[in-house]
Structures are given as structure tokens and as C-alpha cells.
Copies of this chain bind each other. A is one copy, B any other.
Amino acid sequence: MGKSRLEAFSDGVIAIIITIMVLELKVPHSPDFRALLPLWPVFMSYVLSFVYVGIYWNNHHHMLHAVKEVSGGVLWWNLHLLFWLSLIPFVTAWMGENHFETGPTAAYGFVLFMCSTAYSLLVRGLVVHHEKNSTLAEALGDDRKGKISIVLYLTGVALSWFAAWLGFLVYVGVAALWLIPDRRIEEKVVEEIEQEESRSNAN
């Protein structure tokens, strides 16, 4: 089955998720600059979540680039990922409105943890389907960055009970870790394409 509609639907959902979060930045009724100050934590949460959703879109893009076709099961693993991503606006707003207190910060980390897990499950679903086409499997390798992130999310959740800003810092750190694009897949794909081109030139 082709992957184009899966990409289109995911793009649509992720585009909406990343954009509706800005609706939580409630417009102040006063024209004074100082009216923006109370929005500071909401804005910080918005920036972090924007980066996270951007990372997911980016990695989703890279991953499906290395994929030739998808199975019916993959459609469901993808929807499962989109479900957890769709909860990011909710926990973002909760964390922002409550100035990074324990409850919301832990909940934010929990949703990030679930997104990460859902992403791993999607990857696994794709790898299973692509046994013969090992570009994806090779490209992912042992997915060290993914495993580290999952541990860090749980650390962030735990730290939120001591000091919520520590949890928040951990989430910022994981985002920084991922801002470096997933060169593994990118390089593999580039190699693959070059090989294919040289092969077709050889014919």
C-alpha cells in the first residue's frame, strides 16, 4: 500500500496540533506591554512544544522517506502516535497556565514519554514490514537516541516531584538532543539513492 496518504494525513494532523497550541496564548485585554508578562510561562511552554512537535514531524518525515510501502497495521501505529501527539496541546496549556508546578510538569513528561513509546512502536511496525528492504532497519541501528530519551523523560517526570523546573530542564535537554537531525537515516537514504542511480546508469 502506498505511503502518500499516510504522509498527507499525518502532515494535516501534526500541522493542526502545532498551530492550535497558539490559541492558548490568550490575547490580553490591555494594550500595555506589561500585559504580556503573565503570558511568559505559556509562551515558554508553547516554544518547547512547538520544537517537540517539529522534531516529531521531522523524524516522521525522515523515517517515511526510507520506507517504500506501509501495511494496514502501520496505519494504526501511526494513528496511535498521532493520538499521543494530540494530547501535547492539552498538557502544554496546563503546564503554562500553572507556571510549571509539579502536577502539570509531570503530566507533560508523561505525554512526551508516551509519544516516544508510540514512535518506537511505529518504527518497529515499519521494520517488521520491511524485513527484506533493510535500508530502514540498518538506518535505525540500535536507536540509542530513542532509548536515552525514554529514560530521560521518566527522569524528568520523577524530578518534577522535587522541583518542577528541573523536570522542565530535562525536557529542554531532550529536545536539544533531537534538534540535531537524524543523520543516520538521512545518510543511509542518500547512499541508497546514489547506489540505485549508479545501478540504473550501469544498465
Contacts and interface: CB of A to CB of B under 8 A. Distances in A.
Interface in A1-39: 1-2, 5-9, 11-20, 22-25, 27-33, 35-36
Copies in the complex: 4
Given A22-B90, A61-B75, A90-B22, A16 B12 contact: yes
Nearest to A22: B86
Contacts of A90: 22, 25, 27
B94 A27 contact: yes
A12 B14 CA distance: 9
Contacts of A29: 97-98
Interface residues of A, number: 64
A50 B83 contact: yes
Interface string A31-74: 11101100000000001001000100110011001000000110
A87 interface: yes
Interface of A: 1-2, 5-9, 11-20, 22-25, 27-33, 35-36, 47, 50, 54, 57-58, 61-62, 65, 72-73, 75-76, 79, 82-83, 86-87, 89-90, 93-94, 97-98, 101-104, 107, 179, 181-183, 186, 189
Given A29-B98, A32-B103, A58-B76, 16 more contacts: A5-B61, A6-B61, A8-B11, A11-B12, A13-B15, A15-B15, A16-B20, A27-B93, A27-B97, A28-B94, A30-B98, A31-B103, A33-B107, A35-B103, A61-B75, A73-B181
